[in-house]
């Protein structure tokens, strides 16, 4: 777990890559700067300014606004790629924009490399929770997007086939699946079961291969649909 940040006095340094919405930037800055252990250190003027901004002002977290794929310099891909290229260790929280489907933006942000996702309904406490989560190396997703995802992709999905591949998992694999689906890291799971991180990594890889999944989003949808976890657990 990280004990100090890149900002002055060891604070968590946050950059706001949110463009064309000065009022939103001001609101985020007020919430973040009110916390004793974090602060906004820079607000790049546009996607092209991100590399220089991160070089001059190292950041622990970058909050980047999702933009439609048709938008020039789409933050979701181009700007996030700029962050990853310039500051590989920086965490990225994607912020839902006003146009398009939130669920689609969520999936797009994860594919682009974001570590967290905030919806436009997020409260100030959600913003702070997201920053603390990704700084600790954990993924963060706004509770409202989980509900939307369940309603859109899980509850409307067809029933599982009778030959349920879940039944073919070992008991340990089922235990790892449960913890992984709700967002626990390999390190956290390893501590629970007194295993090495590599062993947990191997379990997760085997689970994903057996179920035919590629990311945690698919694992989460499966776990909810299968009844392994409920939305209330998230």
Residue 233 lies in a domain: no
Q: Which of the residue ranges 62-66, 93-97, 103-107 would you say has the lowest mean pLDDT? A: 103-107
> Where among 151, 169, 191 does a domain terminate?
151
Question: Which residue among 117, 151, 185 closes a domain?
Answer: 151
Same domain, 216 and 142: no
The answer to whether residues 128 and 162 belong to one domain is no
Pair 141, 171 in one domain: no
Residue 60: inside a domain, yes or no?
yes
The answer to whether position 137 is within a domain reads: yes
Q: Examine the fold and report which residue of 127, 151, 175 is the final residue of a domain before the chain moves on.
A: 151
Of residues 74 and 121, more confidence is placed in 121
143, 68: one domain = yes
Taken in order 22, 79, 93, 156, is the CA torsion positive or negative? positive
Mean pLDDT of all residues in 161-180: 79
Residues 164 and 138 in one domain: no
Any domain includes 97: yes
20 and 114 within one domain? yes
Query: For position 51, what pLDDT does the model report?
Result: 93
**Hey, what long-range contacts does 215-219 have (CB within 8 A, 24 or more apart)?**
215/110, 216/139, 216/180, 216/181, 216/183, 217/107, 217/110, 217/149, 219/177, 219/180, 219/181
Same domain, 147 and 162: no
Per residue in 212-232, pLDDT (tens digit) is: 888 887 888 788 777 777 555
**Integer Cα distance of 2 and 132 in angstroms:** 10
Mean pLDDT of 40-58: 92
Report the pLDDT value the prediction gives residue 107, as an integer from 0 to 100. Answer: 66
- Most confident segment among 17-21, 89-93, 112-116: 89-93
Question: For the segment 126-140, what is each residue's pLDDT rounded down to a tens digit?
Answer: 999 999 999 988 878
Structure tokens at 190: 């390893």
Domain count, the chain: 2
Classify residue 215 by its DSSP letter.
Answer: S
Residue predicted with more confidence, 77 or 121: 121
**Residue 180 counted as domain residue:** yes
Considering the domain architecture, whether residues 103 and 187 belong to the same structural domain is answered as no
Task: Give me the pLDDT at residue 154, please.
Answer: 46
Is 81 a member of any domain?
yes
Examine the domain organization and report whether 104 and 220 are in the same domain.
no
125 and 15 in a single domain? The answer is yes
Instruction: Give the pLDDT score at 137.
Output: 86
| Domain range enclosing 182 | 158-227
Question: Could you tell me if 85 and 61 lie in one domain?
Answer: yes
- Looking at residue 60, which CATH number applies to its domain? 3.40.50.2300
Domain for residue 3, yes or no? no
Residues 39 and 141 in one domain: yes
């Amino acid at each position: 777990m990280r004990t100090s940040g890149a900002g002055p006095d060891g604070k968590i340094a946050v950059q706001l890559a949110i463009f064309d919405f000065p009022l939103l930037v001001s609101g985020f800055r007020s919430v973040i700067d009110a916390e004793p252990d974090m602060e906004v250190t820079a607000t790049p003027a546009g996607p092209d300014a991100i590399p220089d901004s991160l070089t001059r002002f190292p950041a622990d977290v970058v909050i980047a606004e999702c933009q439609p794929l048709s938008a020039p310099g789409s933050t979701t891909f181009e700007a996030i790629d700029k962050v990853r290229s310039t500051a590989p260790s920086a965490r990225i929280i994607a912020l839902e924009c006003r146009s398009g489907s939130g669920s689609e933006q969520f999936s797009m942000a994860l594919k682009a490399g974001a570590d967290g996702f905030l919806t436009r309904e997020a409260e100030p406490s959600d913003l702070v929770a997201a920053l603390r989560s990704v700084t600790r190396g954990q993924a963060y997703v706004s509770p409202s997007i989980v509900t939307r995802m369940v309603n859109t992709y899980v509850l409307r999905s067809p029933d599982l086939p009778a030959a349920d591949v879940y039944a073919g998992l070992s008991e340990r694999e089922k235990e790892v699946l449960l913890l992984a689906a709700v967002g626990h890291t390999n390190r956290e799971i390893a501590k629970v079961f007194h295993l090495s991180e590599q062993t947990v990594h191997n379990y997760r890889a085997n689970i994903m291969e057996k179920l035919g999944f590629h990311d945690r989003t698919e694992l989460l949808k499966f776990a909810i649909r299968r009844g392994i976890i409920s939305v209330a657990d998230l």
